[in-house]
């Protein structure tokens, strides 16, 4: 499979497939494709359907198979970027819920539970995130621009709620309470920040959708 990233604020990825190659995607992610692409909607069993429901994704995945050479385009659902990642055995990736766009058929999408309940409830991305495993190229959606850091052993970064896009499984995620009642109530940063501890790579997004939504619900002055 070859791919090409196109577009600006609302990007898309064009995947060029040879006969028999397959792509999986979220429902509604396909923008356009050649006539040689054959679509099949799959649930993967009750367990898979429930896991996707809990992680904020659609209940079913679409599988596209090339019958001869062809191409298929998947488009972003909001302003930002599309990040291609190579998934290999023993090289999984943890991503925010609803970030998965599409991937080669060898990539498996599953639930990732935070080890600490408090981290999941207050850490900004909910109790459940997603794990990409297997082998192949995957594409995830980023809100706004993308910033990458590589944390050393024990190195920490304090991050605003919702800005965590993805991180390697070697990275530990916890929460840190914002100090002071006045800071909590009037600081505009919520009650908790996310703390990521290395070693490993992390990817941050500059405009999480919850922050963008707040711009539209603020009262007019």
Please check whether residue 206 is in contact with residue 147, taking contact to mean a CB–CB distance below 8 angstroms: yes
* Mean pLDDT confidence for 74-81: 91
Greater confidence (174 vs 171) lies with: 171
pTM across the whole model = 0.81
Q: So what's the pLDDT on residue 111?
A: 80
User: Domain of 24?
Assistant: 2-209
Whether 86 shows a pLDDT value over 70: the answer reads: yes
219 assigned to some structural domain: no
In total, how many domains does the chain have? 1
167 assigned to some structural domain: yes
Phi, psi (5° rounding) for residue 11?
-80, 170
* pLDDT per residue as tens digits for the range 40-60: 987 654 445 455 455 455 557
Q: What is the mean pLDDT of the chain?
A: 81
Whether 28 shows a pLDDT value over 80: the answer reads: yes
* pLDDT per residue as tens digits for the range 97-152: 888 999 999 999 888 766 554 444 544 444 578 899 999 999 999 999 999 999 99
177 assigned to some structural domain: yes
179 assigned to some structural domain: yes
Instruction: Return the bridge partners of 22, or none.
Output: 65
* CATH number of the domain where residue 70 is located: 3.60.160.10
Cα–Cα dist 166/16, whole Å: 26
Six token digits for residue 202:
């992390």
144 assigned to some structural domain: yes
215 assigned to some structural domain: no
Six token digits for residue 10:
């609302």
């Amino acid at each position: 499979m070859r791919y090409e990233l196109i577009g600006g604020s609302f990007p898309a990825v064009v995947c060029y497939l040879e006969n028999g190659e397959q792509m999986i995607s979220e429902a509604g992610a396909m923008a356009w494709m050649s006539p040689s692409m054959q679509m099949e909607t799959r649930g993967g069993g009750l367990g898979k359907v429930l896991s996707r429901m809990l992680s904020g994704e659609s209940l079913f995945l679409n599988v596209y198979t090339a019958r001869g050479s062809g191409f298929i385009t998947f488009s972003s659902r909001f302003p930002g970027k599309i990040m291609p990642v190579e998934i290999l055995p023993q090289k999984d990736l943890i991503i925010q819920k609803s970030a998965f766009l599409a991937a080669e058929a060898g990539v498996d999408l599953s639930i990732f539970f935070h080890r600490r309940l408090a981290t999941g409830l207050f850490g900004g991305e909910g109790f459940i995130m997603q794990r990409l495993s297997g082998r192949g190229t995957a594409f995830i959606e980023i809100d706004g621009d993308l910033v990458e850091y590589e944390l050393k052993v024990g190195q920490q970064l304090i991050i605003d709620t919702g800005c965590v896009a993805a991180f390697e499984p070697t990275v530990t995620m916890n929460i840190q309470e914002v100090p002071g009642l006045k800071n909590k109530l009037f600081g505009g940063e919520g009650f908790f920040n996310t703390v990521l501890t290395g070693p490993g790579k992390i990817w941050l997004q500059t405009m999480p959708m919850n922050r963008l939504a707040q711009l539209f619900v603020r009262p007019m002055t």
